[in-house]
Amino acid sequence: MTPAGSPDRSLACPILHVDMDAFYASVAIRDRPELQSVPVIVGGGHRGVVLSANYPARAYGIRSGMSGRQAHDLCPQAVRVSAEFGEFERVSRSVMEIFREVTPLVEAYSLDEAFLDVSGAVRRLGSPAQIAEHIRARVHDEQRIDCSVGVAATVSVAKLASRRAKPDGVLVVPPDEMVAYLHPLDVGELFGIGPKTRARLHRLGLTTVGDVARTPRATLQLLVGRALGAQLHQLASGADRTTVTPRRSDHDPDRSMGSDETFGRDVADREVISRELLRLAGRVTARMRRARVAGRTVALRVRYTDFTTITRSHTLPDPTDVTAEVHAEALRLFDALGPRRLRIRLVGVRVEGLLPLERAHRQLSIGEREHGWPDADRAVDRVHQRFGRGVVRPAALLTGDRP
């Protein structure tokens, strides 16, 4: 296996599998620093089932799908937190938007994992290994959770690599190292092989991937059936599919785009908050323009130091993808919150009710300039696409440090 620090070796590996680390648990406790290093389970009441567990809890043998009673027996001191499915879906949407900012070829596999084909992003963002690190940094910075990334030439090997990279890592498996990587593994680690199939293969004496690879395909089909035998033969030789089919998960509807930011220190200064809202509005509308969508509803999310979270939204007369308009509406919503006793730790901007740009008819105003903010935004998009993000920024973002 090649470490992520060898980008030249990853150029033959355009497929990424990005998997959030202990996703549900990480989201549930990210605003509770006192729980970061103690065993935590999500769900799993006295008669319930464990939805997720953080890594300290997993050290006691607790796993998702386990009964709450069994989890308690394994670790009586574990802290149980409730499952906030709305929050999980919101974070998942934001993470998937980060992926689609890198490449349109994103195959959402579940709420917390996806396959990406980054071959078209190499010229703009660097090698696949560098793109993997870029994604990890963005997810951590914007959502304050960690993810692991497998980088390979095929879907199944990328999936295996991300599992071996956990937690919070990147693993590259170049094509010429694929056989050496695969063959020592237990056959149960192959993508799509469940516990029952693993046990059946072990009974047949096929305990490692190498055992399966050395078994003729026809023999495998006689032992386990025609379809499964053919699938196993492909997986064991790394001859899995090399294409990613763009697909959204059931929980990842294309109805909104947004972005959040947690301040490094709590903030009360309106100007600082206004600048951050402008930064977020620019990030969101740039994604919208790439996707050729516009939206009418602007939503603001504010979290105070006591973790009270408030969401406000307003529907505009016309759909927009213009940074200045989204920022102005987000700031108006913020000002409408009135006097604030507490400082603010997080702000977020989201545009909802998205529709294709060709359907987003805009009412023309008398006296409106022929060339205005929409043209300026698209000019900036072209500069960023050619020279990278941050080359051109609003003047308001050139002054003042981010807290």
**What does each C-alpha distance from 31 to 144, 175, 308, 309 come to in angstroms?**
9, 41, 11, 11
Q: Which tokens is 182 given?
A: 């695969």
**Residue 19 assigned ligand-binding role:** yes
Spatial distance between the Cα atoms of 373 and 395, rounded to a whole number of angstroms:
14
> Which run of H or E residues covers position 352?
strand 344-352
113 catalytic per annotation? yes
Spatial distance between the Cα atoms of 171 and 148, rounded to a whole number of angstroms:
8
Q: Are 69 and 75 in contact (CB under 8 A)?
A: no
Q: Which tokens is 98 given?
A: 């980060």
Q: Are 152 and 158 in contact (CB under 8 A)?
A: yes
Spatial distance between the Cα atoms of 388 and 384, rounded to a whole number of angstroms:
4
Q: What is the largest CA-CA distance in the chain?
A: 80
The 3-state DSSP class for residue 341 equals: coil
Q: Are 40 and 81 in contact (CB under 8 A)?
A: yes
Catalytic residue, candidates 97, 101, 113, 325: 113
What are the DSSP calls for 261-323, one per residue?
EEEEEEE--HHHHHHHHHHHHHHHHHHHHHHTEEEEEEEEEEEETT--EEEEEEEEEEEE--H
The residues facing 28 across adjacent strands are: none
C-alpha distance across the termini of the chain, in Å: 39
**Residue 211 assigned ligand-binding role:** no
- Residues making up the annotated binding site are 19, 112
Binding site for Mg(2+): residue ranges?
19, 112
Q: Which residues are catalytic?
A: 113
